[in-house]
Amino acid sequence: MSNTLEPLSVSVLSGFPEPDRASVRRAYEQELSRLNRKIVVLDDDPTGIQTVHDVSVYTDWKKETLLEGFREKGSMFFVLTNSRGFTVEQTRVAHREIAQNIAAAAKAAGSDFLVVSRGDSTLRGHYPLETQTLRQILEAETGKAFDGEIILPFFKEGGRFTIGNVHYVRDGDRLIPAGQTEFAKDRSFGYRSSDLTEWCEEKTQGAYPAKEVTCISLEDLRAGKVDSIAEQLKAVSGFQKVVVNAIDYCDVEVFCTAFIKAVLSGREFLFRSAAALTKVLGGVPDKPLLTKEELVEPGNVNGGIVLVGSHVNKTTLQMEELRRSKFPIAFLEFNQHLVLVKGGLAGEVDRVVALAEERIRNGQTVAVYTRRDRFDLPTDDPDEQLRVSVEISDAVTSIVGKLSVRPNFIIAKGGITSSDVGTKALHVRRATVMGQIQPGIPVWMTGAESKFPNMPYIIFPGNVGEQDTLRKAVELLMQ
């Protein structure tokens, strides 16, 4: 069982046969050119764009918005649902509406489509609710019958690998089974299983037993057994789960080659994946990391702002490293514990905004962070936990919304925090993904409708990067 699994050395990643990457790429590109489908990525927080560039992100899912996405020239667009900040019922209602509007927009555009439910690479989120709801409504609205659901949480930039059906999270020179990490102890989305076949059984409460899950092995992927993998996919029915092992992008390319063959033979699937799949399925080429010249407008002498909401241990370590920056940064603590006091958060917002504005106007960058000590509500109700978390997040992100001075740059740390900054504070309706400032750290270019138009907005996931990644990103912008 997953709880008895031992960590692995990262050296295991180099122990698999090296494929002929050139021939893998040729076969993948050939099949991709035959896939005449619009790829709609539903992102449960804004970090799913960690691997792509020059694609659109929409922050609502009205029919006319989705139709705009379908009519774009590109093969893929993202819809930010922020459902990881939703209750169960809010998630169900939103995904019913999303599925209905995808079906309507696709019909109006005369386009077929694939749907990717992009979730956290450490397996958190409203699963299986989101894909179950999408399946139910899309089948009713379009007549499609989904044969299976593909589970692919591999995300190289974040150190997430699947080997022998077990999902691992890199920690230094070790790979830790995901079920043994702090992410698995999430108060809203916790789980026990590291073996993804067992995880499917656990999350579906036995509806899809581990022994019935189809597994695409690393050995077959590295051997380039495209036709064999395609036959595995063709044999899937009844929305059975398909677990894909992967430790490198070439594995995803081989899988997508086989997947497209299965789709072109008439099979239909939904995806639950992390960010790596979208790059491969969307045919997004590599791009160098963004430079200061691309990210900071000349002539703006104001300081920047870093907003830290995430409470995973990696974020706390990264923030402590930021304190050691060679540049002067003003650190302002936000006391989210005041949520228990009537009017407490509103007063705290006003206090922090006043301090931040003064420093930003004087050319100093500020880092606003929530208290690091653990804050637990006296309840085990996950929806109530989530409601209070959202109330706190709304208060924290309103700091950016209340700024009357245009910062030199904005970084938001954490999934829900960065989503709320983008939609509630900056009022972005459509953004373009510029690329990444560090591996796995994406940047939006805000639209003309936003509070700060045409501003690069850096979305820094809470659980990504090394200890010095946040400091490096900030120092790049301040140098």
Q: What is the pLDDT of residue 2?
A: 56
Interstrand relation of 56-58 and 76-80 (parallel, antiparallel or unpaired): parallel
Least confident range of 39-48, 376-385, 465-474: 376-385
Q: What is the pLDDT of residue 269?
A: 98
Q: 3-class secondary structure for the chain?
A: CHHHCCCEEHHHHHCCCCCCHHHHHHHHHHHHCCCCCEEEEEECCHHHHCCCCCCEEECCCCHHHHHHHHCCCCCEEEEECCHHHCCHHHHHHHHHHHHHHHHHHHHHHCCCEEEEEECCCCCCCCCCHHHHHHHHHHHHHHCCCCCEEEEECCEHHHCEEEECCEEEEEECCEEEEHHHCHHHHCCCCCCCCCEHHHHHHHHCCCCCCHHHCEEECHHHHHCCCHHHHHHHHHCCCCCEEEEECECCHHHHHHHHHHHHHHHHCCCCEEEEECHHHHHHHCCCCCCCCCCHHHHCCCCCCCCCEEEECCCCHHHHHHHHHHCCCCCCEEEEEECHHHHHCCCHHHHHHHHHHHHHHHHHHCCCEEEEEECCCCCCCCCCCHHHHHHHHHHHHHHHHHHHHCCCCCCCCEEEECHHHHHHHHHHHCCCCEEEEEEEEECCEEEEECCCCCCCCCCEEEEECCCCCCCCHHHHHHHHHHC
pTM: 0.91
Q: Can you tell me the mean pLDDT for 302-323?
A: 90
For 201-212, b where at least 16 C-beta lie within 10 A, e where not — what string? bbbeeeebebee
Q: What is the pLDDT of residues 15-49, one digit of tens each?
A: 999 999 999 999 999 999 999 999 999 999 888 89
CA geometry: angle 104, 107, 110, nearest 5 deg: 150
Give me the percent of the chain exceeding a pLDDT of 90.
Answer: 84
Q: Can you tell me the mean pLDDT for 227-249?
A: 98
Q: What is the pLDDT of residue 162?
A: 98
What confidence category does residue 383 fall into, taking pLDDT thresholds of 50, 70 and 90? confident
Q: What is the pLDDT of residues 159-203, one digit of tens each?
A: 999 999 999 999 999 999 999 999 999 888 999 999 999 999 999
More confident residue, 298 or 168: 168
CA distances from 38 to 99, 105, 239, 327, 387 (A): 14, 11, 21, 45, 34
Q: What is the pLDDT of residue 164?
A: 98
What confidence category does residue 3 fall into, taking pLDDT thresholds of 50, 70 and 90? low
Q: What is the pLDDT of residue 385?
A: 75
- Is residue 1 over pLDDT 60? no
Q: What is the pLDDT of residues 243-265, one digit of tens each?
A: 999 999 999 999 999 999 999 99
- Is residue 380 over pLDDT 80? no
Q: Phi and psi dihedrals of 102, rounded to 5?
A: -60, -45
Give me the percent of the chain exceeding a pLDDT of 70.
Answer: 99
Q: What is the pLDDT of residue 47?
A: 85
**What value does the CA radius of gyration of the chain take, rounded to a whole number of Å?**
22
- Is residue 210 over pLDDT 90? yes
